[in-house]
A and B are shown apart, each in its own frame.
Chain A
Amino acid sequence: MSLLSTLARLEAVRSGRAEPLATVRHRHLSERPMVLVPLATAAEDGAPLAVLLGTDREAPRLHLVPQPLNRELRTEFLAAFADDLLPYLESFAEAVELIEGSEKDPVTGEKTPVTRELCADAPQLLVPNAGAVRHLALIGRATRFRRTAADPDPGPHPAPARVPLLGRWLTHLTERAQVPGSSMLLPMTGLLARHWATGQSLLEDQHLAAQLAWHHPPAGLTGAQAAELAETARDEQGQLLHPPAGPATDPRFDEKLLAPAIARFDAALTARRGGPGTGAPGTVEACVEQLRALLLGVLLPTWSDVWSGLELLRALPPAAHLPERWEGDRWSYTGHRDRLAAGEPPQPRLDDAVTAARKLAQREREQARLDVQEALDDPLAMAERRLAGEAFAAEVVEVVLDHDTSGRTPRPRPLLVLRTADRPHAEVGREVHRIGAPSAQKGRIAAVEAEQGLVTVRLLSGMGRRRDPEPGTLPEPGERVLFALFELTPRQSAPLPEPDDTPWTHGGPPSAVRNSTAVAEEWA
């Protein structure tokens, strides 16, 4: 935790309310997000129990598995879930913009112009917490390899046609959610924690209702008291007034309400199977209705919590770099759309060495880009970097024109004498980058007088191609400037071999090791 966010937490403890950590909103919010609250069964990791979803706060739709251990009912649930979610995901595939680019011919090396499609917008799923993201990933892994009736070898239990497709989309979205700064699938607890500090621990912030309680505690209560109520208050039956946001349910709810309702459903089903005339007609349906009411009861508080969180976030002005990062999400969406259209197989169970290394490189690159862009977009984020000595704000004291005469033509290498109240980790020779220069401008620290707060920077670039700096490229004495000791554009990642060229150090091409035991994974 950085110094500033620790301070904000302490302030939140004192004020009893959430304190801002950002002046702008650092994640893209869609006009039409899909809110999705999943519940899992306590019996089996990743086994779905229910999901409440929709794009309209007033009209959530509930799907459930009346008997979570029954594979057929689970498949029916997955089919209904797929039919509900997929139209939303696919609705962004049609509207595209055309991007002009060029492609290098791998043989001749010649560049040929190409036009590529980029979807104009992409879907956005909002879930209550990180546990929900993991749960969706598990559903994706369990369904994307399911065979359907359309398969040449459908097997004894073919799944409905759209179930594997659901699995592929969920896998794509949960993978993309691992990329720092991406916004296609976001947990509300994480979104709120990025923008506000509460006076409780990061672990306690995982409880959406408790975190929200710090934002609008009821009259007369502090945030801490309201959060404790949200976590622990129970009614006279011993049920939580504010059930957890899932995907796990409260054990006491499982024991006292859910398990008996499922047992009644089982009994009604057994009675119906007993033969014609046994069991009252409509009992099974009534039991399902009871379960619906029960689950809706525990899901609706979280449903409205996610929407309240969304309202809080929408009140923040968007950060300047959001469209750029959202374009990355759009490319990701477009790419997945194209892979599906091309009939490519589902994502493999495990990444091969090259794919894993590529993903890691992408995530590290995006993390670096996110850190830089957040600092550029938000003075509070920049303040953290300044406090850490990684950037400094200064006033220009003097500008000394100087030239590098070692080459054929003299190049401008002016010295800026800067006075700063910050304490940057400024060592002589260290590279610095000016923020807010007309074009990218790099310099090197030439001298430091820490006691006087003086830093001298020799500018090396961003001053035009002539002997003297272009007008406007140099700051004037008295001007406020901002320098970063980190690079403002992330470094390109080095090229990796194609998977088929995986070297001997990493076991050779993946096709050769496909049969090794490490890759075998069994599914119930």
Chain B
Amino acid sequence: MTSTVSSVDTTAATDPGAAADAAVAAILDATVRPAPGAPRGVVVDSPPGAGKSTLVVRAAQELVGAGERLMIVAQTNSQVDDLVDRLASKAPELTIGRLHAADTPPTAEAVRHPNVTASAKPGDLLALDAVISTAAKWQWVRDVEPWRHAIVDEAYQMRSDALLAVARLFERALFVGDPGQLDPFTVVGTEQWSGLSHDPSSSAVVTLLAHNPAIRPHRLPVSWRLPASAAPLVSEAFYPYTPFHAGTGPGDRLLLPGGRADGSAVDAAIDEAAEYGWALLELPARYTVRTDPQAVAAVAATVRRLLDRGVLAVSEQGRRPLTAERIAVGTAHRDQAAAVRAALLELGVPVDATTGPAVAVDTANRLQGREYDVTVVLHPLSGRHDATAFHLETGRLCVLASRHRHACIVVARAGIAELLDEHPATDPVQLGSAVRIPQGWEERIGGEVIPLLERVGAQFPDGWEANHRVLAELAEHRVRL
């Protein structure tokens, strides 16, 4: 009944492709042909770049192929439009409805396909194979027959109260999402409910699993995006429940800087990243304003040199020069992104994608779900004198450290490790929170500790520890500016 891919031992799998195929087959099986008495929900934990989008398309195709109609829930309008576009291109045989709010029409990309119908009225779309909308819009849909199947995309970004409002619309659902991304949030206090299994501000998947213990989450075991140099670190630091492997081997992804290094620290960092997949370009320790001018300048110079040196990116997709649109700069705050954009413009690097190929400069929130060859990250804790919950949030660091196919260069002030040590988490412990103990932890930390962790509502992964882990790896690839 709970035959899930969790039983497939991926560590032994020599062929990542076969392991991934087996996982997808099991998920589709559980979704399209549920065993009698099986739980009504199927949860899929998907690490970065593990083929989540492909899975959603295939699940939709198979469900429709089995004679079902389905509803699909995503979280933001741009996610919905992307999904409509992808689904319509990959599955031209499906009729797709894009349900939208009256004042936010869908993008042109989403409705350019002949098999897509857009409407603000659910009644116009009921007969179509698949109807896609945001959770916010679905909440207002009433007086319809419930669908037999739903797919909830980016389910870890969905808030529990949103699921509460839409769950009446479907009988069974496939929940797909990346557990390492940023958690949903609210601007008002919710301490009153922390520790409750149905805390309305927690993630929809957390609530679902707490109330449906029979659901054993599936996982996609292979990241096709992250290179062999990054997958083990990202997996260990951010995905304790869902370990995964890189789909490519150590030598499969190469970054070949052309031209000769000019002897600067920036070039040394680029060479380090090309060789090992990681580099830390470290500035002297100092407390700075958020838009630290020297760190911003270092980020901009790194991007400029990446473009100037004629770097070649070699991968299973072939050889291609590293161009502006294959590079992203990630920051924690919007003003930092704005400062980096201004600095890049001064160096003549294009940053506006509407006018042609450009470097993407954005915050972690906006880089979620996107993929580049090389990323340059301004470390969220660089130059700070304190480590707040915002800066320690694992999702933020995880998003920034998992966007790249080849290499990630982190720019930071020295002293982050000391800063972390001075700011251990001081949040009050909430008794009775829903706790998932990661697989294999029982052996690692001893069985007697587990009940204690469960009682105090331990959170995994822990932002403080994850930060230290990433720093420890980066310290091996340090270049001082």
Contacts and interface: CB of A to CB of B under 8 A. Distances in A.
A357 B200 contact: yes
A404 to B, nearest CB: 15
Contacts of A178: 188-189, 192
Interface in B162-205: 163-165, 167-168, 173, 186-190, 192-193, 196-201, 204
B326 interface: no
A507 B164 contact: no
Given A360-B188, A364-B187, A367-B187, A495 B139 contact: yes
Nearest to B189: A178
B208 interface: yes
Interface stretch (A224-232, A275-283, A497-505): A497-505
Contacts, number: 92
A360 B186 contact: yes
B309 interface: no
Contacts of B200: 353, 356-357, 359-360
A246 to B, nearest CB: 20
A505 B207 contact: yes
Interface string B36-57: 0000110000000000000000
B139 A494 contact: yes
- Of residues A359, A360, A495, A497, which shows the largest number of chain B Cβ atoms within 10 Å of its Cβ? A360
A187 to B, nearest CB: 14
A497 B167 CA distance: 10
A185 interface: no
A506 B163 contact: yes
Nearest to B209: A505
Given A180-B188, A357-B160, A518 B40 contact: no
A73 interface: no
Contacts of A272: none
Given A353-B198, A494-B139, A495-B139, A506 B164 contact: yes
B165 A496 contact: yes
Contacts of B161: 356-357, 360-361, 496
Contact of B193 (A356, A497, A502): A356
- Of residues A352, A354, A503, which shows the largest number of chain B Cβ atoms within 10 Å of its Cβ? A503
A292 interface: no
A363 interface: yes
A518 B207 CA distance: 14
- Of residues A359, A502, A506, A507, which shows the largest number of chain B Cβ atoms within 10 Å of its Cβ? A506
B136 interface: yes
Interface residues of A, number: 29
A328 B152 CA distance: 36
Interface residue tally of chain B, by bracket? 35 or more
B409 to A, nearest CB: 29
Interface in B361-392: none
B439 interface: no
Nearest to B136: A494
A505 B186 contact: no
- Of residues B168, B188, B193, which shows the largest number of chain A Cβ atoms within 10 Å of its Cβ? B188
A257 interface: no
Contact of A497 (B164, B197, B204): B164
A504 B432 contact: no
A180 B188 CA distance: 8
A495 B212 CA distance: 24
Nearest to A460: B103
A316 interface: no
Contacts of A360: 161, 186, 188, 190, 193, 200-201
Nearest to B39: A504
B198 A352 contact: yes
Contacts of B168: 497, 501, 503
Contacts of A367: 187-188
A282 to B, nearest CB: 46
A331 B207 CA distance: 32
A518 B140 CA distance: 31
Contacts of A501: 168
Contacts of A508: 211
A350 interface: yes
Interface in B203-251: 204, 207-208, 210-212
A470 interface: no
Contacts of B201: 360
A494 B140 contact: yes
Interface in A465-524: 494-497, 501-508, 518
B211 A505 contact: yes
A180 B168 CA distance: 30
B102 to A, nearest CB: 13
A357 B187 CA distance: 14
B165 A497 contact: yes
A250 to B, nearest CB: 23
A352 B160 CA distance: 13
B188 A518 contact: no
A508 B212 CA distance: 10
B196 A351 contact: yes
B91 to A, nearest CB: 27
A495 B140 CA distance: 7
Interface string A337-361: 0000000000000111110110111
A363 to B, nearest CB: 4
A504 B40 CA distance: 8
Nearest to A354: B164
Contacts of A352: 198
A364 B188 contact: yes
B165 A494 contact: yes
Contacts of A504: 40, 167, 211-212
A178 B103 CA distance: 32
A50 to B, nearest CB: 26
A178 B139 CA distance: 25
A353 B192 contact: no
A353 B193 CA distance: 10
B126 to A, nearest CB: 20
Nearest to B188: A363
B164 A518 contact: no
Nearest to A137: B192
A518 B197 contact: yes
Contacts of A351: 192-193, 196
A497 B388 CA distance: 36
A455 B48 CA distance: 40
A180 B140 CA distance: 25
Nearest to A501: B168
Contacts of A431: 103
Contacts of A505: 41, 163-164, 167, 173, 204, 207-208, 211-212
A351 B193 CA distance: 8
A504 B170 CA distance: 11
Contacts of A359: 200
B456 to A, nearest CB: 15
A507 B208 CA distance: 8
A361 B161 CA distance: 9
24 contacts: A178-B189, A351-B192, A353-B207, A354-B164, A356-B199, A357-B161, A360-B193, A360-B201, A361-B161, A364-B188, A494-B136, A494-B139, A494-B165, A495-B165, A496-B164, A496-B165, A497-B168, A505-B212, A506-B167, A506-B207, A507-B198, A508-B211, A518-B196, A518-B197
Interface of B: 40-41, 103, 136, 139-140, 142, 160-161, 163-165, 167-168, 173, 186-190, 192-193, 196-201, 204, 207-208, 210-212, 432
Give 4 closest A-B pairs by Cβ, nearest first. A494-B139, A503-B167, A353-B198, A357-B161
Given A360-B201, A431-B103, 18 more contacts: A351-B196, A356-B200, A357-B160, A360-B161, A360-B186, A361-B161, A363-B189, A367-B188, A494-B136, A495-B139, A496-B164, A501-B168, A502-B164, A503-B167, A505-B204, A505-B208, A506-B164, A506-B211
